[in-house]
Structure 1
Amino acid sequence: MRKHTKLAIGLLGVPLMAASGFAWSTEGLRLEGYGAVSRAMGGTALAQDVGVAGMMVNPATLSMAPEGRRFSLGADVITADIVNEDLTTGEQVRSSDRGQNRGPYVAPQIGYTVNRGDWAFGVGAFALGGLGTEYGSDSFLSDGTSGTATGLENSSRLLVVDIPFALSFRVNESLSIGATVDAVWSGMNLNLLLGANQVGSLIADGRVSGSLLGTLATLPALDGAHLSFTREHPLSSGADAWGVSGRLGLSWRASDNTRVGAAYNFGTRLNDLQGDAVLTAVDLVAGQIPIKGHVEITDFQMPASLGFGVTHELRDHWRVSLDVSRVFWRDVLKDIHVGFTSDGGDDLNLVVPQNYKDQTIVAVGSAYSIGDWVLRAGYRHGTEVVPDRDLFVTLPVTPTRILSTGFSYRLSTRSQIDFAYSHNLEIDRSNPQNTNTGNPVRTTESQDNFVLNYALNF
């Protein structure tokens, strides 16, 4: 499977090569919009033509394009600033200045569409979402429950790449319908230290099982357990899997100035993520005991979503958009199931609580045309996804309020550049529990993200 993964992603070409350092947390695990046009308008895309990236939200919008072909090439640039503070000791660690893969991070966007008569076809490759952190090996996150330094890394990287094959049909002058069938690849890197008190909490909750549990119990002074499956490689991860997804959409012109859109995005059907791993038992007497083996993350999926949108032309050169979406996180991330099997056949199974909640997202955007320029702005607000008690500092999913702006500039009658800047307003949350954190931890996070596309019509 890993051989096929490298080959398939390699066929996507140079744009995906830029994703080697991709690691951030966004709206849950998802990006807050696809393509610079949508991102600059708060991620709105359900009831307007946002270019080839429309196939990632509502494929019916592809029918809004004129006869011909469109090609777009671009990238997301993500800069996240995450600070974690141990509320017991006062120690702090910042993600932005630690580790080998610290930001800014880059993710791909490439797409191609053809409009012929009443039909539109498209194919692309986009980063569907991801998250990540780099805390290095010398912060309080790398200390065992006793406070003893372990020198072990704490980091994460999740990349989900969506490859949609889109189709849209213009039923009449007012109504278009569309659909996609998507190939989806997900790759995860993880270095995670659980203190002995965290392991004890998981055991007490019935969330740990397997023959290796007895082995850990025989150690004289267990101080923690570290799980690592990471590959420093631009086109692969420590554990990965392929799967499928898809979406259905419609676009309806309610009047000369108003268009309504709706879309349902199916949740992914990914195989279990698998890869080589090392489980290290950290003991104050026996030292560090690494155990090589295989890791499997069971049924780790991206959620389904349902959205409705409306775009209204206030004047010939000015339009506003509103999208409302519901993302069904609760169906896919109640727990994270991690299984480890040693080369000798012993196993350890962890069920890590997450208790994600369904998320409601409201996005508004505006675009104003003046000469060769289109100026855009927007705002996006989402409800919180994960409860405070289940926050993981290596799996942050905190941003909920996003301001955005951007522009398009027409280079010629056939080409233009699109740019967007979005700022995830700082959010401050604390986890008071000791299952997902050794001590109570306060997390603050903000982001400055950019999108740049080149679009060609021919």
Structure 2
Amino acid sequence: MNRELFSLKNYQGINSWKLRKMSLLALASAVSPSVLALNTGTDLNLSLKPIAGGMAGAAYTKPQEVSAALFGNPATLTQFKGFNFGLGAAILEPEVDNYQSNNGFTNHSHSLAQNYIAPDIALSGEVSPGFVIGAGVAVDSGLGADYRTQPINGGAGLGLGGAGAGGAATLPLNVELLSFSANVGTAYELTPKLSLGAALTVGFGLGQFGTAGNTTGLGGLSGDFGGTTSSVHNISIRGAFGATYQLTQDVKIGASVKTPLEYNYRNVLSTTVGGAQEYQSVKVEQPLEATWGIAANPTTNLLLEADVAWKNWSQSSLYKDVYDDQFLAMFGGQYNLGNWQFRTGYSYATQLLRDEPNGTVGGFKGVGSLPLDTSVPGVLNNNDLVKVVQTTLGPVVWQHTATAGLGYAFSPKLRLDAFAAYAFEGSASRSTLALGEYAVNSSEWALGAGANFRF
């Protein structure tokens, strides 16, 4: 069967169109990873820090660990006088279930992209009165999916022969994006009440999109559809700027902004759409972010903090095709009882998925021999495939996250901390003209611990 059979311009006959519907569904799934981030979009923010993680990431105004200051609002570094060092790690477990249904048939695919470890290292030193510098390394964002053993079923219920019961194709998706950040930051206490800070991030990103493994029911497609992905990497930089102000003895306010972090993943996805085989490149951009918040000590032993983050996903490369701008509200508290610290937190995220996505994802024109951004009147809207991408992307459809944390100070110089977090299950679904219904249920949990030293 030649490539022209799958060209919508050369469409002839209902049987050929059924094959095309199966093929287009395969394309939509092949560019779709599941999500790694705990609370908003693909960003981790401060949610996996040993102390801030127990306060739902509410640490942009009065953080309790140097890593949260360095990777959050850099102006807060002036709150860490002397020498400070933090070392921690967290395990993140996403639970993503995809459902594809059409003509009474439903297929369930569970992503096996789990057991993510996020290391966290930071230190700071006061080099002169009121002037602090810091440095550290952490994982700041990511995506991941592995459907090699529980593949997405393409063309479910279309009744195509030779593809196994209930569906036309099985798709062994294997997709991953990870971003590691090395930060250097400085802060200066202009007055006893006002501090300003800045940080530079050097990011190292790993990217992979496509299929990897055996594919059934796709014998009519040209090329090796079971191996369209490449594993590539890139580096990038971003900046952060912040300020804090002590309103009263017990109340502090703060604000910060982070510039976008854009990775250019070259030659990451194979396609033969339009002729000879080629590898496509894509830009993936973590968005512009603004935060503001307030922290207060109602009593000597109690700290309460409330922060808000706004993320400009609608202007970020790749994500703008499926995401809207988003607000994240974070509330956290810490109570000191002797050498013990008890923490709790809650975060709320506004809905992230666009109701009407674009017709492409990151400008990809196709995967293998299958095209994106294609429409057939009365049968396929140009963004139907991207609606499928939204639901098989393992989106952050949860909106509520609860956290708890515990710390113990062995001495004024050493404290051990741990936290647990759970993002309550959310769901999303999208309908298409002829490809059927697509839905996702997803949740996440995380556990982390670390040691903080202060001299």
Q: With the length of structure 2 as denominator, give the TM-score of the two structures.
A: 0.75
Instruction: Determine which of 271, 278, 281 is the counterpart of 1:296.
Output: 281
Pair 1:411–1:142, CA change in 2 (3 A):
farther
Pair 1:190–1:143, CA change in 2 (3 A):
farther
Q: Is the 8 A contact 2:45 2:140 kept in 1?
A: no
Which residue in 1 is equivalent to 2:449?
452
Q: Deviations over 1:325-360 (max 9, x none)?
A: 211111114x46xxxxxxxxxxxxxxxx82421101
Residues 1:364 and 2:331 aligned together = yes
Q: State the 1:397 CA deviation.
A: 3.0
In structure 2, C-alpha distance between the alignment counterparts of 1:107 and 1:221, rounded to whole Å: 39
Q: Is the 8 A contact 2:151 2:171 kept in 1?
A: no
Q: With the length of structure 1 as denominator, give the TM-score of the two structures.
A: 0.74
In structure 2, C-alpha distance between the alignment counterparts of 1:49 and 1:86, rounded to whole Å: 43
Q: Is the 8 A contact 1:55 1:166 kept in 2?
A: yes
Structure 2 counterpart of 1:92, which letter? H
Q: Is the 8 A contact 1:155 1:394 kept in 2?
A: no
Q: Which runs of 5+ in 2 are unaligned?
A: 1-33, 213-217, 356-386
Structure 2 counterpart of 1:118, which letter? G
Which residue in 2 is equivalent to 1:121?
133
Instruction: Determine which of 233, 238, 241 is the counterpart of 1:245.
Output: 238
In structure 1, C-alpha distance between the alignment counterparts of 2:132 and 2:452, rounded to whole Å: 17
Q: Deviations over 1:284-336 (max 9, x none)?
A: xxxxxxx8753411x32110111111001010000111101211111114x46
Considering only aligned residues, what root-mean-square deviation do their CA atoms show, in Å? 2.9
Q: State the 1:191 CA deviation.
A: 2.6
Q: Is the 8 A contact 2:152 2:172 kept in 1?
A: no
Which residue in 1 is equivalent to 2:314?
330
Structure 1 counterpart of 2:286, which letter? M
Q: State the 1:185 CA deviation.
A: 1.5
Q: Is the 8 A contact 2:153 2:171 kept in 1?
A: no
Which residue in 1 is equivalent to 2:11?
none
Pair 1:133–1:171, CA change in 2 (3 A):
same
Q: Which runs of 5+ in 1 are unaligned?
A: 1-21, 194-215, 231-237, 282-290, 337-352
Q: Is the 8 A contact 1:41 1:404 kept in 2?
A: yes
Q: Deviations over 1:126-159 (max 9, x none)?
A: 1111121222255343668748365542132111
Q: Which secondary structure state, in structure 2, belongs to the residue aligned with residue 39 of structure 1?
A: helix
Q: State the 1:425 CA deviation.
A: 0.6
Q: Which secondary structure state, in structure 2, belongs to the residue aligned with residue 391 of structure 1?
A: helix
Residues 1:77 and 2:91 aligned together = yes
Q: Deviations over 1:361-406 (max 9, x none)?
A: 1111111000111111111011122225361414533232111110
Structure 1 counterpart of 2:41, which letter? G
Q: Describe how 1:370-381 pairs up with structure 2 within 5 A.
A: 370-381=337-348
Structure 2 counterpart of 1:65, which letter? F
% identical aligned pairs? 19
Q: Is the 8 A contact 1:420 1:451 kept in 2?
A: yes
Q: Deviations over 1:33-52 (max 9, x none)?
A: 25122121121112102312
Which residue in 2 is equivalent to 1:310?
294
Q: Is the 8 A contact 1:227 1:279 kept in 2?
A: no
In structure 2, C-alpha distance between the alignment counterparts of 1:70 and 1:432, rounded to whole Å: 52
Q: Describe how 1:197-346 pairs up with structure 2 within 5 A.
A: 228-230=228-230, 238-270=231-263, 272-275=264-267, 278-279=270-271, 294-297=279-282, 299-333=283-317, 335=318
Bigger-Rg structure (1/2): 2
Q: Which secondary structure state, in structure 1, belongs to the residue aligned with residue 411 of structure 2?
A: coil
